[in-house]
Amino acid sequence: MSDLSVAAVAVERCKTELREFRIPDIPADAGLLRVVATGMCGADWPMYQNDKPGPRILGHEIVGTIERLGELAGEQWGVKVGDLVALEEYLPCGHCDYCRCGEFRSCLETDTRLPGKIRYGSTPVATAPSLWGGYSQFLYLHPRSVMHPVPPGIPSHIAAMALPIGNGFQWAYLDGKAGPGKTIVIHGPGQQGLGCVIAAKAAGAQNIILTGLSTDENRFAVGRALGAHHTVGVDKQDLLEVVSATTGGRLADIVIDCSGAGPAVTNGSIALLRKRGTLIVSSARGPIDGFDIDRIIGKQIVLRGTRGHSFEAVELAISTMAAGTFPLEKMSSHVLGLHELHDGLMMLGGQGREKSIHISVQPWKV
């Protein structure tokens, strides 16, 4: 193998350059991943628009095979050279309170909103050994990596959905408690919203309502194929009427806002909930004006901000993929090479000619 890795580096705002990096020496407690596919996440778009904290290799939903493995790392991770794994983006310390109770996504050592902290897909190339992102042929496997074995038979562009579908299991099932008899409203038919549809369906939810705009019809069609019972373009249809009509006036048990649409959607969610319902918000755009805390109290609503996924959620996503019970192929709209990464990121941000659902990048594709 060559001792260089080609990587697509986000060098400045909305600008990508292909660069070669020397493959680092691998210490006993680390490894090297040959990247097979990396899923493009909605979070890549704000990062691509931001030139802080300097040039970096984006891409944090990473699947690959173990290319090199330090002896200690092999014991620690329970993997061997050639194994196919899906990585989490987090590089948690392993010994703080959060890590010790399994909530390692909250570990401060991997919270890149804090200066100098690291995780895959957002750490600058100036931090040695540079290969921190999935839009690269090889990735440095830091000793604190969190990985999941990928069973045979899952195509790599599907395996690259492990984290968005894992988010779905976290938000809709583990946090939201979707299950038999429950009505769940999911705002936003992007890959996270579709992940929530999959999780709610797998959990046996009785009534899954996916919302967006009437221009989202291609995403709605995928949502229905994945198990949504109703899809509602909120610019054309009265959502409260649909929720009320489909629940016999009982209203929703759970509302998840992963639309990123801001106050109108988040505030409007309160009216959709029955008493003691749960509102989960994973995306907002700044402070929510007019947020009615009195109605939260009056209806005894549980409000939860959520971010990312637990280990269990990603395992549930991978076992769902392996079971082959959902037509996940319909979620995959584009498979791109590194040279097409800029176009893919612009499409992700709604700036391209085409519309995407899930884009995966295969760094060895020419």
Show the site string, 304-343: x = touches Zn ion by CB under 5 A, - = not: ----------------------------------------
Compute the least distance from the CB of residue 97 to Zn ion, in Å. 8
Residue 111 to residue 46: CA distance in whole angstroms: 16
Q: How many helices (H) and strands (E) does the chain have?
A: 12, 15
**Gap between the terminal Cα atoms of the chain:** 18
Touching Zn ion, residues 158-187 (CB under 5 A): none
Residue 105 or 230: which CB sits closer to Zn ion? Answer: 105
Compute the least distance from the CB of residue 252 to Zn ion, in Å. 26
Compute the least distance from the CB of residue 39 to Zn ion, in Å. 8
Q: How many other β-carbons are positioned within 10 Å of the β-carbon of residue 116? A: 9
Residue 190 or 277: which CB sits closer to Zn ion? Answer: 190
Strand positions, DSSP E, the chain = 4-12, 15-22, 31-39, 61-69, 84-87, 138-141, 147-149, 183-187, 207-212, 230-233, 252-257, 273-281, 302-305, 332-336, 358-361
Compute the least distance from the CB of residue 41 to Zn ion, in Å. 3
Q: Which two tokens stand for residue 233?
A: 């373009």
The torsion of the CA quartet 207, 211, 216, 217, rounded to 10 degrees, works out to: 30
Residue 246 or 333: which CB sits closer to Zn ion? Answer: 333
Q: How many other β-carbons are positioned within 10 Å of the β-carbon of residue 68? A: 19
Residue 127 CA, distance from chain mean position: 24
Residue 105 to residue 121: CA distance in whole angstroms: 15
Compute the least distance from the CB of residue 273 to Zn ion, in Å. 27
Q: Candidates 11-19, 40-48, 187-195, 331-339: pick the segment binding Zn ion (CB under 5 A).
A: 40-48
Show the site string, 190-209: x = touches Zn ion by CB under 5 A, - = not: --------------------
Touching Zn ion, residues 80-139 (CB under 5 A): 92-93, 96, 99, 107
Compute the least distance from the CB of residue 103 to Zn ion, in Å. 9
Contact indicator for 253, 274 with CB cutoff of 8 Å: yes
Q: Residue 41, interface with Zn ion (CB under 5 A)?
A: yes
Residue 251 to residue 101: CA distance in whole angstroms: 35
Q: How many residues bind Zn ion (CB under 5 A)?
A: 7
Residue 43 or 316: which CB sits closer to Zn ion? Answer: 43
Residue 41 or 348: which CB sits closer to Zn ion? Answer: 41
Residue 134 or 223: which CB sits closer to Zn ion? Answer: 134
Q: Candidates 37-45, 152-160, 186-194, 199-207: pick the segment binding Zn ion (CB under 5 A).
A: 37-45
Contact indicator for 19, 49 with CB cutoff of 8 Å: no
Alpha carbon distances (Å) from 4 to 21, 31, 85, 160: 5, 15, 22, 24
Angle at 72 between CA 309 and CA 124, to 5 degrees: 50
Residue 170 or 207: which CB sits closer to Zn ion? Answer: 170
- Phi, psi (rounded to 5 degrees) for 49: -85, -5
Compute the least distance from the CB of residue 59 to Zn ion, in Å. 9
Residue 92 or 223: which CB sits closer to Zn ion? Answer: 92
Compute the least distance from the CB of residue 192 to Zn ion, in Å. 8
Touching Zn ion, residues 340-359 (CB under 5 A): none
Residue 40 or 242: which CB sits closer to Zn ion? Answer: 40
Residue 107 or 301: which CB sits closer to Zn ion? Answer: 107
Compute the least distance from the CB of residue 345 to Zn ion, in Å. 13
Compute the least distance from the CB of residue 42 to Zn ion, in Å. 7
- Phi, psi (rounded to 5 degrees) for 77: -90, -15
**Chain residues in the site for Zn ion (CB under 5 A):** 41, 43, 92-93, 96, 99, 107
